Amino acid sequence: MARTLIVSAERPGAYPTIRDALEIAPDGSVISIEPGVYPETVRLVGRRLSLVAAKEAGSVTIDASEARGSAVACEGGETTLQGLVLRAADYPALSVVGGRATVEKCELAARYAAAGTATDGATLTATDVKVTAGQYGLVVEDAGGLLDKCEIRDVTDDGIIVRLGANPTIRNCTVVDCGYRGLYIYQAGQPTIERCDVSNTGDVGISVAHQSSPTITESWVHDTRGVGILFGRGCGGLVEGTRIEDTAAPGIEVEDGATPTIREAQDDGHKPKVGVSAIEGSTQRDTEKVDKLLAELDSMIGLAGVKAEVRALIDEIQVNEWRRSAGLAVGAASNHLIFTGAPGTGKTTVARIYGQLLKALGVLPNGLFREVSRRDLVGQYIGHTAEKTTKVFEEALGGVLFIDEAYTLSRSAGATSDFGQEAIDTLVKLMEDHRDQVAVIVAGYTTEMLDFLDANSGLASRFAKTLEFENYAPDELVLIVRRIARNDDYLLGTGLDDALLEWFGQIERDRNFGNAREARKLLEGMRKAQSGRLRSLGRMPSRDDLRTLVLDDLLVATR
């Protein structure tokens, strides 16, 4: 079992500095560092150790700004760093020479050197690492490994340098606001660059020189002062599925004697997520927001089955992210849902919360909610419907498109049903083309929604799940009345709860029953009855009079 040594400047019995703990730590130990700033340099030669923040990531700073050396220098061995902030001046904040280093949720910053370097055959695995300052961002020289979900910004010169035959995989990284180049690959560098976002560079986005051959796939290079990608003489490699936008012309420049293979990204509307904002990037997940939204969902009255289904969907998204991080296969997922049930059962409210959950999870960029019905999608002549439907769909990209009473689009709905069928067929194609950019939710009565799904052979397969919204029970409707009244600054008088329960228990629950709408309608009637009652008092009503609804108000409203 690994030995754990505690470092704390204040805790009695702990080691006051990291170096004190290292002097007696056997290989395999974990150095757990309490929050604080530690002005020292840490050098690990041939050691097998872990240095981890005892509390949340970013609570521990190893500051070598006033020292002649790196905050952490690893030479050989196997080192793990977790949750640390490393700062230096004229030396790299992190230096890895040979050996293996695993760096997770750390922040690196230097003044006049690279923020982090890996050299001499080292293997560097960096996940969720942020570079916030430096002459250069990360330098990988004669080394390999994986840079995953890293963010490099605000460096003076180049964001990432790969040289001397280095072959790291750079995946889901964001490189932004670099004074010179985003990525500079030279001296036979052979990196694999996947789903990266490179932007706002002072010169070229990705520069390839001196016999280098990178593989660049499904990335996005944009808003650069120089060309997007430059291949120098003698260089090769592959560029595939990569968008080049708002750069100097040409987007990809290939000098004489360069032989890269370039396969342009298809302009089919499907734009894979890139950089740390990709679904694989846990750094963009707003865990606190997710918890608040789930609490809001739980606070809704009733809907136990719906709440469980939504939580199951959120759990699946989380597990899929973990599988991706572990390098495991993840099947294609759909965010589209079917909501069935009577009106007034909370379908629109749940759809809004679901969209905000997808935003907080990093699945959708904005979570905006667009509610439409048949009249917003169906036109007046052949061809008009496809145009209207496409326009509505594109306006909803990045968020939720909620189609209420969607069954009215199917052929059985009426005389103009052919136009409705055109809307359905257009939706099916758009949902496939933009499957990662929007969540479509269709809602309506249970039986009619089955007919809607039969309107196109590919429609049912586009939706991940059907959520059934049941009618509210009488006691739940009483709670709804009470909640609406409280939100509007009203109180229910003595005996009113029992009377409301009896009333809702005897209402016929036919197709026209409105559930929560019935509760709100009844409360409006009670307010009007109260107004007439108070006007007839012959005096100025008290504050309690103005707030309280009584049994007589219910009797008048239901007469």
Query: Which pLDDT does position 219 carry in this prediction?
Result: 93
Q: What integer is the mean pLDDT of 502-519?
A: 78
Mean pLDDT computed over 406-411: 78
Q: Give rounded-to-5 percent helix, strand, coil for the chain.
A: 30, 30, 40
Least confident of 16-25, 265-274, 313-322, 388-397: 265-274
Residue 42, pLDDT score: 96
- Read off the pLDDT of each residue in 184-207 and give the average, rounded to a whole number: 96
Of 306-315, 326-335, 463-472, the range with the lowest mean pLDDT is 326-335
Per-residue pLDDT at 328 exceeds 70: no
Contact between 111 and 79 under an 8 Å Cβ cutoff? The reply is no
Distances (CA, A) of 80 to 23, 119, 144, 293, 556: 17, 17, 16, 35, 73
Report the range out of 187-191, 482-486, 529-533 with the highest average pLDDT: 187-191
Kindly tell me if the per-residue pLDDT of 130 is higher than 60: yes
* Residue type for position 54: A
**Superfamily of segment(s) 135-284:** Single-stranded right-handed beta-helix, Pectin lyase-like (2.160.20.10)
In eight-state DSSP terms, residue 15 is B
Contact (CB, 8 A) for 114 and 136: yes
Q: What is the CA radius of gyration of the chain?
A: 31
- C-alpha span between 242 and 263 (Å, rounded): 8
Binned at pLDDT 50, 70 and 90, residue 268 comes out as very low
Residue 352: its H or E element: helix 347-360
Please state the domain extents for the chain: 1-104+114-129, 135-284, 285-469, 474-557
**H helix runs in 434-550, sequence order:** 446-453, 474-487, 496-506, 516-535, 543-547
Give the C-alpha separation, 24 to 18, whole Å. Answer: 11
Q: What are φ and ψ of residue 102, in 5° steps?
A: -115, 120
> Binning pLDDT at 50, 70 and 90, where does residue 320 land?
confident
**Is the distance from CB of 513 to CB of 342 less than 8 angstroms?**
yes
What pLDDT is recorded for position 211? 95
CB 206 within 8 A of CB 193: yes
Query: Tell me, which fold does domain 474-557 have in CATH?
Result: Helicase, Ruva Protein; domain 3 (1.10.8)
Tally Cβ neighbours within 10 Å of residue 307: 16
> Residue 275 and residue 267: Cα distance in Å, rounded?
20
Tell me how crowded residue 278 is: count the other CB atoms within 10 A of its CB: 22
Task: Say which amino acid occupies 153.
Answer: R
Answer yes or no: is pLDDT of 433 > 90. no
**Residue 294: both structure tokens together:** 């789930």
* Confidence bin at 280 (pLDDT 50/70/90): very low
pLDDT of residue 330: 64
Between CA 480 and CA 352 the distance in angstroms is: 19
Q: Residue 258: enclosing H or E segment and its boundaries?
A: none
- Upstream peptide bond of 12 is cis (omega within 30 degrees of 0): no
**Alpha carbons 315 and 323: distance in angstroms, whole number:** 12
* CA 169, 218, 464, 371 torsion-angle sign: positive
Pick the residue with more confidence: 424 or 121? 121
Q: Write down the number of H helices and E strands in the chain.
A: 13, 38
Q: Give 460's pLDDT tier (boundaries 50, 70, 90).
A: confident
Position 283 confidence tier, pLDDT thresholds 50, 70, 90:
very low
Each residue's pLDDT tens digit, 488-502: 888 888 888 888 888
pLDDT per residue as tens digits for the range 501-510: 888 888 877 6
Q: What letter does residue 232 receive in the DSSP assignment?
A: -
Residue 409, SS3 per DSSP: helix
**Confidence at residue 267, expressed as pLDDT on a 0 to 100 scale:** 59
Q: What is the mean pLDDT of residues 428-447?
A: 82
- Identity of residue 405: E
Does the domain at 285-469 match CATH 3.40.50.300? Answer given as yes
Asked if pLDDT for residue 415 goes beyond 50, the answer is no
| Stretch 129-157: mean pLDDT | 96
User: Out of 147-161, 163-177, 392-406, which region has the weakest mean confidence (pLDDT)?
Assistant: 392-406
Q: For 211-263, what is each residue's pLDDT tens digit?
A: 999 999 999 999 999 999 999 999 999 999 999 999 999 999 999 999 999 98
Report the chain's terminal Cα–Cα distance, integer Å: 76
Mean confidence (pLDDT) of the chain? 87
Length of the chain equals 559
